[in-house]
């Protein structure tokens, strides 16, 4: 993969292209990569996902949901399409990460010689050698280096320092193996930058990458800000922006490299990171909203004073529609009146509320369709604002949505009770 910076704006970040060199396919940055579970878009078949977007997408694979496929993939021949062909998305570029951004990563279980990997079968251990062997089997277009990312805003200094030291130790091995491996000659290495919310430790991690990874990596992935899952939605701009500003200043010489932040960051936080120059995010926010019965409804249309789906000039208190709300049972409007997704064009709020009440599998399917479509349209609006250097206006719109109060984008786990009879189906499955 090759990264090209095409446009730098004064106050709105940058536009670029991530190019798959073998096929010449180009993907605009800021880029929203599609989070998968076991190689599949959550809840959606390939045919349904094609109805969300017919355009080729970059797929984010995680070892936490795919490590059990190693043997089958090692024996798979196919027609040369590799990992993406194996999961049914032939010729889609792939990014291989370690952790599933949709699920909470338990803290602890760290050791100087290995990284814990939490899979559906329980905890596995990843040594640097085992990790590289897995990457060589998967042969992704992009993969991240092995890291100890078990830190968050509340982590102690000792834990943060250990995460930096262990990541450096892992990366000594990864850099050498990446350089020597013929099987990874076409794969791009994203070197991890860790260090929690401590600028000194982040500088340590960046210094090591520059000294020992120079000429070996093709981008950076920033970890250690949260424990994934809903914890990423709790990260605020006030916490994150100062640390990322510091990191990006120290990486100014590497400005031609793409920068990625995995996790379900809120749309407002993503915007402020994009303004700093971050290039790649994932769709785990759409998934986290869907499994907690929420349809994304925040406005991003720069139409004067418009606030999206607000009727009678009312300003929304939240950027979601909670489909568990009883007031929807006789609401025969689409989720969003101007949305062109399959869910909004063919179904009503009342029907999706009914699907929740009856624990039908179609419920989360329709929410994922809508949420993915909404986020992808949001990123199109971001590209337009960067081109016109008006990202500040979009940030203001998202922050207040036309009102005086700051809108809360954090996703809170929905704890409403579903009958035991419905467990194992649709919505209920995410709470079982």
Q: Does 339 show up as a binding residue in the annotation?
A: yes
Phi-psi region of 413 (alpha: psi -120 to 50; beta: other; left: phi over 0): beta
Tell which residue, 95, 24, 99, 14, has the closest CA to residue 58.
95
CA geometry: angle 68, 194, 171, nearest 5 deg: 60
**What does the DSSP 8-state code read for residue 79?**
T
Crossing angle of helices 391-400 and 267-276, rounded to 10°: 160
Q: Which distant-in-sequence residues (6+ apart) come within 8 Å of 327 by Cβ?
A: none
- Provide the token pair at 79: 């027609």
Tell which residue, 34, 119, 14, 15, has the closest CA to residue 70.
119
DSSP 348-366: -HHHHHHHHHTT-THHHHH
Query: Quick one: three-class SS letters along 73-115?
Result: HHHCCCCCCHHHHHCCCCCCCEEEECCCCCCCCCCCCCECCEE
Q: What CA–CA distance (Å, rounded) separates 164 from 227?
A: 16
Helices (H) and strands (E) in the chain, counts: 15, 15
Residues 286/60, Cβ–Cβ less than 8 Å: no
Tell which residue, 58, 61, 4, has the closest CA to residue 33.
58
Helix, strand or coil, per DSSP, at residue 270: helix
Q: What H or E segment, with its residue span, contains residue 9?
A: none
Q: Does 102 show up as a binding residue in the annotation?
A: no
Q: Does 370 show up as a binding residue in the annotation?
A: yes
Q: Does 385 show up as a binding residue in the annotation?
A: no
**What does the DSSP 8-state code read for residue 43?**
T
First and final C-alpha spacing in the chain: 40
**C-alpha dihedral, 298 to 300 to 303 to 304, nearest 10°:** 80
Residues 115/138, Cβ–Cβ less than 8 Å: no
Residues 295/367, Cβ–Cβ less than 8 Å: yes
Q: Which distant-in-sequence residues (6+ apart) come within 8 Å of 113 by Cβ?
A: 127
Helices (H), 119-190: 128-138, 157-180
- Provide the token pair at 265: 């960051």
Annotated binding site: 339, 341, 344, 370
Annotated binding site for Zn(2+): 339, 341, 344, 370
């Amino acid at each position: 993969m090759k990264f090209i910076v095409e446009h730098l704006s004064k106050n709105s970040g940058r536009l670029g292209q991530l190019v798959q060199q073998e096929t010449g396919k180009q993907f605009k940055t800021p880029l929203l990569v599609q989070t998968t579970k076991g190689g599949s878009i959550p809840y959606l078949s390939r045919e349904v996902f094609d109805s969300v977007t017919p355009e080729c997408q970059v797929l984010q694979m995680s070892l936490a949901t795919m490590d059990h496929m190693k043997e089958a993939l090692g024996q798979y021949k196919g027609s040369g399409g590799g990992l993406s062909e194996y999961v049914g998305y032939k010729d889609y570029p792939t990014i291989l990460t370690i952790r599933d951004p949709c699920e909470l990563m338990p803290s602890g279980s760290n050791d100087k010689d290995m990284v814990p990997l939490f899979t559906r079968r329980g905890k596995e251990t990843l040594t640097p050698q085992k990790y590289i062997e897995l990457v060589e089997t998967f042969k992704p277009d992009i993969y991240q280096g092995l890291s100890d990312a078990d830190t968050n805003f509340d982590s102690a200094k000792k834990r943060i320092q250990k995460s930096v030291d262990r990541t450096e130790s892992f990366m000594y091995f990864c850099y050498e193996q990446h350089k020597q491996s013929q099987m990874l000659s076409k794969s791009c290495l994203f070197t991890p930058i860790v260090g929690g919310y401590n600028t000194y430790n982040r500088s340590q991690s960046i210094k090591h990458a520059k000294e020992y990874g120079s000429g070996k990596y093709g981008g950076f992935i920033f970890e250690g800000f949260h424990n994934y899952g809903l914890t990423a939605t709790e990260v605020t701009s006030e916490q994150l922006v100062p640390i990322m500003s510091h990191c990006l200043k120290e990486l100014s010489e590497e400005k031609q490299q793409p920068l990625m932040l995995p996790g379900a960051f809120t749309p407002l936080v993503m915007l402020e990171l994009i303004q700093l120059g971050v290039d790649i995010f994932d769709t785990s926010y759409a998934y986290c909203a869907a499994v907690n019965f929420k349809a994304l409804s925040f406005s991003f249309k720069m139409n004067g004073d418009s606030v999206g789906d607000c009727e009678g000039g009312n300003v929304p208190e939240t950027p979601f529609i909670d489909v568990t709300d009883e007031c929807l049972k006789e609401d025969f409007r689409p989720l969003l009146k101007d949305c062109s997704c399959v869910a909004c064009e063919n179904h009503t709020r009342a029907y999706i509320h009914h699907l929740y009440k009856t624990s039908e599998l179609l419920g989360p399917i329709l929410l994922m369709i809508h949420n993915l479509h909404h986020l992808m349209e949001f990123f199109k609006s971001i590209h337009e604002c960067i081109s016109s250097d008006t990202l500040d206006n979009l940030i203001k719109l998202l922050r207040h949505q036309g009102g005086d109060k700051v809108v809360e984008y954090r996703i809170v786990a929905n704890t409403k009770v579903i009958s035991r009879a419905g467990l194992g189906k649709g919505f209920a499955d995410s709470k079982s």
